[in-house]
Structure 1
């Protein structure tokens, strides 16, 4: 009886701690939403307002005065497209670096990772002139390529680290049965590395959504603006800083990522705990 009582107390404390942690994590998100659903006059008021007024002014403004639907679409196309490009290039590259033995393999792997260590501002101007000469300025396609290029090295390195943990005996057995390297990669390696691939994809999504410098440089008009650049539209001009619009757009940009992580949390948690990045 005493053991059952201690078990109930332990379960209660566990749920209490988890509930407190959930409130701590959700409080900033709900605070942003509350700011987005309040009139601007209350937000900038000198005196604190303990019972705020509910208002859809910011919601109506971002959908009527600003083409927020276009911004959302541009963000979705650019981010998803860049992640697809990264995975299509990173998976074969990671397999080559993890499984084949050739000269300068480790040097090539380190060089791929070192490109992520470079400050983006160093290549900003060359990339601008490159896309200008290609006629891709102010297009979502340019953003897609830039996001993919920025995250490709990190995605390759993460996936490679998981492929190194797969025993070679599995591939040897498949080759004995007559499977080609491509068949082994698609049918054996990729399914076994799925948590790592999902982890790399989610990290690439987060970095792409947060990218601002190249987006601002390439997207010169609203035709290619993403949510990160759209936020800058509410921080200046004759109207000053529109705090409720900023909070609401930031909330809209964060919620899809949060739901994505929640939906794939099983694979994501496995991907974050399997193996380690190897040199």
Structure 2
């Protein structure tokens, strides 16, 4: 008994050491990147190694005084959150129809929806620009919201559909026997059953939207609609050259909201990443 308890303790110790090592591998680059944001620019670009860096708020003062970083962050949050909501409102009914209704060409339609995600964004950049110019939506956060939603809608639909295929049809048959309609079944049974998958799809859509640069630069012609991705590009040129400490600080600020979101929903996210993985 004592030997088994000792072996179990050693196994737990090895497990914690491995997890601690992996956490260090993941966190140290982030902390190092953050440390660049709080160092003087002269120390960042110097070719000589500096073992005892100097703490400086130069990059923070630059962001607060010369750059409306709060506005960029607000634009990013509004555009990304709005696009995710639009994607979920449209993708959930579409995924349910593709997963449950039997009609001619269902698989072809499903593949066509997914194939639109394989298209290079630059192909439709010019038509989209003239479309939004005609509608008077250029240089607005609402335009970015619609663009992000259109880009990620096919992927979100396909991901949610794969989770809905794992839900037993017997649950729906029992609900129909009790007189429930399709909308009631979707709202009361399907959505709660595949909620982790929906959350996973929403997080993936949010990450893709945050990283979108081409359409953001195309639509946002002034700083009124700039997001964090375009704000980063503003620190890579000009008479002062590349401002590395400001880039590092802005990147960390852009990274924090997604980190907090993933921490808050990690329970559902871990379940969602394992759902729909195995088909019988």
Give the TM-score normalised by the residue count of structure 2: 0.98
Q: Distance in 2 between matches of 1:2 and 1:197?
A: 46
The residue number in structure 2 matching 1:49 is 50
The residue number in structure 2 matching 1:166 is 167
Deviation at 1:89, TM superposition (A): 0.1
Q: Distance in 2 between matches of 1:257 and 1:157?
A: 22
Report 1:145-164 matches (<5 A): 145-164=146-165
Task: Give the SS at the match of 2:49.
Answer: coil
Q: Distance in 2 between matches of 1:173 and 1:12?
A: 49
Q: Distance in 1 between matches of 2:9 and 2:99?
A: 48
Whether the 8 Å contact between 1:158 and 1:277 is mirrored in structure 2 is no
> Which stretch shows the higher mean deviation, 144-153 or 54-63?
54-63
Deviation at 1:238, TM superposition (A): 0.6
Q: Distance in 2 between matches of 1:201 and 1:135?
A: 28
Q: Distance in 2 between matches of 1:43 and 1:173?
A: 65
Q: Does residue 269 in structure 1 map to residue 267 in structure 2? A: no
Task: Give the SS at the match of 1:223.
Answer: helix
Q: Does residue 28 in structure 1 map to residue 44 in structure 2? A: no
Deviations 1:108-157 (A, max 9, x none): 11110000000001001110000000000000000000000000000000
Task: Give the SS at the match of 2:268.
Answer: helix
Report 1:18-97 matches (<5 A): 18-97=19-98
Q: Distance in 1 between matches of 2:93 and 2:102?
A: 14
The residue number in structure 2 matching 1:211 is 212
Deviation at 1:46, TM superposition (A): 2.2
Q: Distance in 2 between matches of 1:251 and 1:236?
A: 20
Whether the 8 Å contact between 1:39 and 1:55 is mirrored in structure 2 is yes
Task: Give the SS at the match of 2:55.
Answer: coil
Deviations 1:211-241 (A, max 9, x none): 0000001001000000000000000001100
Cα 1:174/1:80, change in 2 over 3 Å: same
The residue number in structure 1 matching 2:203 is 202
Report 1:165-244 matches (<5 A): 165-244=166-245
Whether the 8 Å contact between 1:199 and 1:272 is mirrored in structure 2 is yes
Cα 1:277/1:130, change in 2 over 3 Å: farther
Cα 1:87/1:241, change in 2 over 3 Å: same
Q: Distance in 2 between matches of 1:76 and 1:259?
A: 13
Moved over 2 A (4+): none
Give the TM-score normalised by the residue count of structure 1: 0.98
Cα 1:191/1:247, change in 2 over 3 Å: same
Cα 1:257/1:30, change in 2 over 3 Å: same
Task: Give the SS at the match of 1:136.
Answer: coil
Q: Distance in 2 between matches of 1:78 and 1:155?
A: 17
The residue number in structure 2 matching 1:247 is 248
